[in-house]
Structure 1
C-alpha cells in the first residue's frame, strides 16, 4: 500500500450527504514515502496524547504513546515521526452546536475534515465538542447524528482510521453538556473521559479543591460503565496541570476560600483560579510556605504560597496521584489512559526539570505489545 493510493476520499451516502469527493493524493512530506501510509496497528491498550504545538514532541517518551492528537497547527514533521513509531495521528474536530440544524454547514465541515485527513496523511479525528446542549433537545439528536456520520465517513475513506470523542468526567449533564453519551460511545472507536476540571461547577462551599479528585473521577467512570458503555471503549484522561487559587481566607485546616465566579448554573467554579502546567507548578512550589501536602480524600497533592498581597493554594497531580488513577483504569480493564496535555512538562535541559519530566512519563503504563492489525 502506498501513499499515492491510500487517501482517496469517498463519502458514503449519509442522511444529509450523498456526494462523492475525490481527493487527489498530496505530496508526501516524509523522507520515507511509506510513512504517509495509514497506521494499521491497533494496540491492546491506549496511551492517548494531546500535543498543543511547538517541538516538545521530539522529547516525548514515544515508547508509551499509541495515539496523538494535533490539537493546534498541523506539523508534517510530527506526523512523519509518529508514523515511524506506528503511532496514529489525529485531527482535532470541533463544531458549533448552534449550526447543527444547518445541513449544509455539517456537510461542508465533514468534507473539510476528510480532505485535511487525506492531504495531511492523518489517521482519523478526535471530536472535541463541549458546548452545552439541553437534554432531549433536537441538538442532542443532531449531535449524535453528526458523530455517527463522521465515524462512517472516516471509516469509508480509511478503514484503519480512528474516530474518538472527548466526554466530560461524568455523564450527568456536566456544564450543561446533556449528550446521548451511550449513543456517542457506540458510534466512535472509543471515548476519552476528561477526568479533570471537575470543579467547573462548585455547588457547595466556594473552596479550592483537587482538579481531579479520585472519588469523583471514579464515580464518573462508574456511571459510564453503568450506562452500558464497555470498559474497552473508555480511555481515562488525566490532567498534567493544576489550579492556582487566590485565597480570601485560609483556615487552620488548610481550607482555602475562593472568590465566587459563577459558571453554567453554579455560584462558584475553578475559574476563580488559574490553570498552571505541571512545569509551572514545580517552579511555584519552590516558594511554598507549606511544602507539598497530601489530601487523602482526593488522593491529590497541594501546597500554599504567598506573595506581598495574599495566600494562594495550588492543587495539582503528580506521579504519585496519577499512578493511582492509572492503576484504577487497569483494575477496571479500561482501554487505556491519556492526558491533557503532553506539553505541560518542562523539556528543557535543566537537570531537575528532566528528572520531573521523566517521572511523569515513567508513571504511565507501557504499551501492550499484544497488538493486532485492524
Structure 2
C-alpha cells in the first residue's frame, strides 16, 4: 500500500494536471509535456504507421500527428525532447456560433490532455472570403484555441497552416497578420504551388524557388515576424501525363480547373519521394534540372505509350530553401510528410533518406 501511495504521489508530482489519465509510457516521466523552446524548429507531419522509429530524431522538434493516435510515438518523441501535437480541423460553418466554437476548443484541449500531447496544429485550408463571417470566425477560433491551450496546458504550442503566399491562394483570404499574432507560429505550406495555374497549362515545379521566396517576403511585408514562420517543403512530387510538348521539355497538361483557375496540379497525381527514386533510374530522360525554378524533373513513358513528366524536390532543391530559412531568420523548416521516404534497409534507399533529412539543416 505504501509503495502504491508513493507511486501515486510521484505521478502527481511528475504529471501534474495529466495525472487523472493513466500514462502509457514505461517511464511515467515521459508523459510530462515538453515545454522548452528550440532555437530551430524542425516540424514533421506523421500520417500513421511505424516509420517514426526511423526519423532523424537529432533534428525533429515537433511531430504533428495526422494519423491514428499512437502512444508509442508520444512516449518515444518525448524521450527525445520532441513535442507531439494534435491535428485540428473543423468546418468554419460549425464555429460561426461562439458557443459551438468554444465547445470544439474545449474538446481539443481535453483530448490533448488525455493523450499527453503538447499542443495542436490547426489545418483548416477552407476557402474564405475577406471580411465574411467565416473570415472573422477563423481568427476568433485561432485566438480561442491558443488561449485555451496556453492556459490549460502551460507551455503548449499552437500552430496554423497557411498557403505558400498570403495572396488569397485557393481563395483562402484569411486575416494572416492577426492569425500570426494570435498563435505561436504559421507553418507555411510551400508546396502545391500549382494548385491554381493562371498562365499556360504546362507542368512545372511543385515549389518554384523564386515564387516560394516571394511568398515569404509577402508575409513579412504584412509585418509578420520571420520568427513566426516555419517553411514547409514537399517530400513528394507530381506526375503529369503530357498531352504534347510546346517547347523544349514543356509538358502541356489537361485543363483541370480549381477555385477559379483554369488549370491546376490536379491534372497530375502526387507521388512519394521513395517512389520517385525507384522510378528515376528507369526513366527515359534521367534526372534533369530546371535552373529557373531550381527543381529536378524527369520523363518516362507508361505501358500505353503516354509520356509523363515528373516534378519533385530532392536534397539539392531543399538545401537551397533551407539556406534561405537560415539567412532570413525564419523559425524553422518542416515537411509534408515524414512518412514519404524509404525507411527500409536497402543501402541506396538509406542514403537517399539520410540525404533528405540532412538537407533540412543549412
What is the TM-score when the length of structure 1 is the normalising length? 0.92
- 1:364 aligned partner: 360
- 1:335 aligned partner: 331
Alignment partner for residue 351 of structure 1, among 347, 352, 362? 347
**Contact kept? 1:101, 1:139, Cα under 8 Å:** yes
- 1:28 aligned partner: 23
Alpha-carbon deviation of 1:95?
Answer: 1.1
**Contact kept? 2:106, 2:148, Cα under 8 Å:** no
- 1:112 aligned partner: 107
How do 1:223-242 residues align onto structure 2 when only pairs under 5 Å count? 223-242=218-237
Alpha-carbon deviation of 1:29?
Answer: 0.3
**Contact kept? 1:2, 1:37, Cα under 8 Å:** no
Alpha-carbon deviation of 1:250?
Answer: 2.2
**Contact kept? 1:243, 1:276, Cα under 8 Å:** yes
Distance (Å, rounded) in 2 between the aligned partners of 1:64 and 1:26: 30
Matched residue count: 352
In the alignment, structure 1 residue 312 sits paired with structure 2 residue 338: no
In the alignment, structure 1 residue 143 sits paired with structure 2 residue 148: no
Distance (Å, rounded) in 2 between the aligned partners of 1:277 and 1:184: 31
- Which stretches of structure 1, 4 residues or more, deviate above 3 A after TM superposition? 1-8
Q: Deviations over 1:53-76 (max 9, x none)?
A: 000000001001011101121100
Counterparts in 2 of 1:290 and 1:34: CA distance versus 1, 3 Å:
same
Alpha-carbon deviation of 1:2?
Answer: 6.4
The structure in which a higher percent of residues are helix is 2
Distance (Å, rounded) in 1 between the aligned partners of 2:94 and 2:24: 35
Question: 3-state SS of the aligned residue for 2:162?
Answer: strand
Q: Deviations over 1:205-239 (max 9, x none)?
A: 10000000001100000000000000111001100
Alpha-carbon deviation of 1:158?
Answer: 1.3
Alignment partner for residue 320 of structure 2, among 297, 319, 324? 324
In the alignment, structure 1 residue 287 sits paired with structure 2 residue 278: no
Alpha-carbon deviation of 1:143?
Answer: 0.6
- 1:195 aligned partner: 190
How do 1:100-249 residues align onto structure 2 when only pairs under 5 Å count? 100-249=95-244
Question: 3-state SS of the aligned residue for 2:239?
Answer: strand
Alpha-carbon deviation of 1:335?
Answer: 0.6
- 2:32 aligned partner: 37
How do 1:239-278 residues align onto structure 2 when only pairs under 5 Å count? 239-278=234-273
**Contact kept? 2:11, 2:19, Cα under 8 Å:** no
* Structure with bigger RCO (C-alpha 8 Å, 6+ apart): 1
Q: Deviations over 1:24-63 (max 9, x none)?
A: 7210000000000111221011001101100000000100
**Contact kept? 1:7, 1:157, Cα under 8 Å:** no
Counterparts in 2 of 1:342 and 1:3: CA distance versus 1, 3 Å:
farther
Distance (Å, rounded) in 2 between the aligned partners of 1:267 and 1:3: 58
Distance (Å, rounded) in 2 between the aligned partners of 1:252 and 1:232: 41
The CA RMSD measured in Å over matched residues stands at 1.4
How do 1:7-26 residues align onto structure 2 when only pairs under 5 Å count? 8=17, 25-26=20-21
Distance (Å, rounded) in 2 between the aligned partners of 1:113 and 1:4: 23
Q: Deviations over 1:72-100 (max 9, x none)?
A: 21100000000001101100000101223
Distance (Å, rounded) in 2 between the aligned partners of 1:2 and 1:48: 32
Counterparts in 2 of 1:3 and 1:111: CA distance versus 1, 3 Å:
farther
**Contact kept? 2:102, 2:144, Cα under 8 Å:** no
Alpha-carbon deviation of 1:252?
Answer: 4.8
**Contact kept? 1:213, 1:298, Cα under 8 Å:** yes
5+ residue gaps, structure 2: 1-8
Alpha-carbon deviation of 1:103?
Answer: 2.9
